[in-house]
Amino acid sequence: MANVKFDRATFEKEIGKLDLKMQEKIALFGTPVESLDDETIEIEIFPNRPDLLGYHGFKRSFLSFLGKKTGFKNYKLNNPEKNYEVKVESSVKDVRPFTVCAIVRGLKFDDKKIKEIVEIQEKLHSTVGRQRKKLAIGIYPLEKIALPITYKAIEPDKIKFQPLEYPKEMSGLEILQRHPTGKEYAHLLAGKIKFPIFIDSEQSVLSMPPVINSEKTGRVTNKTKDIFVECSGFDFEILEKCLNILISNFAEMGGKVYSMKVGGKVTPNFKSEFRDLSLEKTNRILGLDLNEKQIKECLERMGYNYKNGKVEIPPWRMDILHEIDLIEDIAIAYGYENFIPKIPPVSTVGSENSKEIVKRKIAEIFSGLGFLEVSNYHLTKKEDQFVKMGIPEKEESEFIELESSKTDFNILRKDLVHYLLKNFSENSDSEYPQKLFEMGKVFQIKKSKELKEEERLSSGFTPGNFTDLVQTLDYLFSNLNLKYEIKEEVKSSLPFVEGRSGEIFLEGEKIGLIGEVHPKILKNWKIKMPVSLFEINLEKIFKKFE
């Protein structure tokens, strides 16, 4: 998700006044307004439209949507001049194989424009660039560069240049170890024998992608007029699109775009794509009855050209994978607010999952007994699941751990009873008696590495003894019309008092445990009232009612 901020005054001058109606229009264009104050408008750009991340790209598309300057906008691409060339050496193949480049001339940079290009670069890095992993962009002042340029990879200790925001020259490795930006992106070059660089014909390093530019040749200032732009990465097609997004923004800013010879090819590839569009399918999917002229109008408002069943797609659009993507754009142009919501006359018979029906019955039975249902997290803490339940660390087993949890809830619950004790523990100021129940999934990993989820029912009673809870169990099973048995546990399992815990059997199969909680467990939870608990597996009961 990316939010972009545009200057409000510029927006109002060049696009229109930001009244409620305009804000609504922006949302209906598919770019929700996140915030608006006197100076800035903040807009959310969905990941499928990186071409809207820059102000000029947004302005072009949105004005077209408003019906002001519709249709495909063609920017002139000039042929490469002398030495407009980037030589690509094969050494980059294993590090960062591709680059696409262009030169843009006649841009009058000022602080505002510099800020704009820095921002669009950042936004593209964090979205399609996947934090520079997939793609990185470099923009350089042409006047500082001696053309032609070479893109190659060399040993990091042979790389020597003064990186941005640093007072002196460093080697490639030093940059990764000591420069703040270098450290941030070091993982992207970690383990590589050679690091990629752009270097000019006078052996001055322009940058070491995807990490950092040179202070000398890689900093655009408000004296800069002409720039060299490159995108480097792993997916040639995405690099092309990204460069197209950049140069179409620069062209909107008044720049003159020139191609370059890059490793035997000529970039950018600024050719439109064409795709067939079926009018019948468009109308069928959208439930509309638009004629060809109306569809053409819709497409033009979304920045396309249309002719004889073919749509011309601008070279900066990355999101048109399929005809259906064009159909969505037609829907946006038509206006989501103009569709009539209508449930179709499709007749089907509804039904609930039988497990849910059984669970609801059980909840009714428990409610009738005065039990309150609780709802706890599926995630839990090791401290609660094991330590407080008296299970020593070496006996913790069969639990499922979650990787890199942002909280200390980093395992899946193995049972419900520990949560009931937690509930009792946190509610000592609520009126007694407290009678609780919960139904839900618990998780286990078997020795065979099989992950197991099962639905359980647990109930707790405080102050309550063994008899109190057996009465509850009796009532439950007689209402379900099932016969159960309690057998004494051979060896009492925690957290129960020895001799006061039993195994619950349904038709010869063990489905749960019941017992009085041992004072030492109560002490762990700081509970000052006697507690009895049971927990049963519901899966077998579900089967009885399928």
Partner 1 sequence: MKKLLESLSLIEKKVLPFLEEKSISEICKKSNLDKVTVLRALEYLNNKKIINFETEKKRVIDVGVNGALYRKKWLPERRLLFLLDERRIISLNDAQKQSSLSSDEFKVSLGVLKAKALIEIKNGKIVLSASREEISKKSMEELFLESLPIDEDTLTPEQAFSFKLLQKRKEIVQVEERKKFLIKITPLGKEVMNSKELTYDLIEQITPKILKKEQNWKSKKFRRYDVTLPVPKINGGKRHFVNSSIDYARKVWTEMGFVEMEGEIIQPSFWVFDALFTAQDHPVREMQDTFFVSEKGKLPDKKILDSVKLAHEKGVGGSRGWNYKWDEEEAKKMVLRTHTTVLSAKTLSNLKKEDFPKKYFAVGKVFRNETVDWSHGFEFYQTEGIVVDPDLNFGNLLGYLKEFYKKMGFSKVRFSPAYFPYTEPSVEVNVWHPERKVWLELGGAGIFRPEITIPLLGLDVPVLAWGLGFDRIITDYYKINDLRELYKNDITKLRKAKAWMKV
Q: Which of residues 281-340 bind partner 1 (CB under 8 A)?
A: 284-288, 321-325, 327-328, 331-332, 336-337, 339-340
SS3 of 479-515: HCCCCEEEEECCCCCCCEEEEEEEEEEECCEEEEEEE
DSSP string, 263-291: TTEEE---PPEEEE--HHHHHHHHT----
Among 14, 21, 47, 74, binds partner 1 (CB under 8 A): 47
Structure tokens at 95: 């590090």
Contact status: 203 vs partner 1 (CB under 8 A): no
Cβ proximity to partner 1, 215 vs 455, nearer residue? 455
**Interactions with partner 1, residue window 75-134 (CB under 8 A):** 130, 133-134
**Cβ 414 to partner 1, closest distance in Å?**
14
Residues 6+ apart with CB under 8 A from 147: 83, 84, 85, 200, 201
**Cβ 53 to partner 1, closest distance in Å?**
14
Are the C-beta atoms of 154 and 161 separated by less than 8 Å? no
Cβ proximity to partner 1, 203 vs 338, nearer residue? 338
Among 353, 508, 509, 546, binds partner 1 (CB under 8 A): 353
Contact status: 441 vs partner 1 (CB under 8 A): yes
Cβ proximity to partner 1, 78 vs 376, nearer residue? 376
Residues 6+ apart with CB under 8 A from 352: none
Are the C-beta atoms of 277 and 310 separated by less than 8 Å? yes
**Cβ 385 to partner 1, closest distance in Å?**
16
φ/ψ (deg, to 5) at 346: -100, 115
Structure tokens at 356: 């849910």
Query: 174 forms bridges with which residues in the sheet?
Result: none
CA distance 445 to 463: 34
Contact status: 3 vs partner 1 (CB under 8 A): no
Cβ proximity to partner 1, 91 vs 428, nearer residue? 428
**Cβ 112 to partner 1, closest distance in Å?**
29
Binding track over 361-390 against partner 1, x by CB under 8 A: --x--xxxxxxxxxxxxxx-----------
**Cβ 92 to partner 1, closest distance in Å?**
19
Determine the interface stretch with partner 1 among 138-146, 240-248, 440-448, 463-471 (rule: CB under 8 A): 440-448
H/E element, 212: strand 212-213
Could you say which DSSP state residue 390 is in? T
**Interactions with partner 1, residue window 453-472 (CB under 8 A):** 453
**Cβ 323 to partner 1, closest distance in Å?**
6
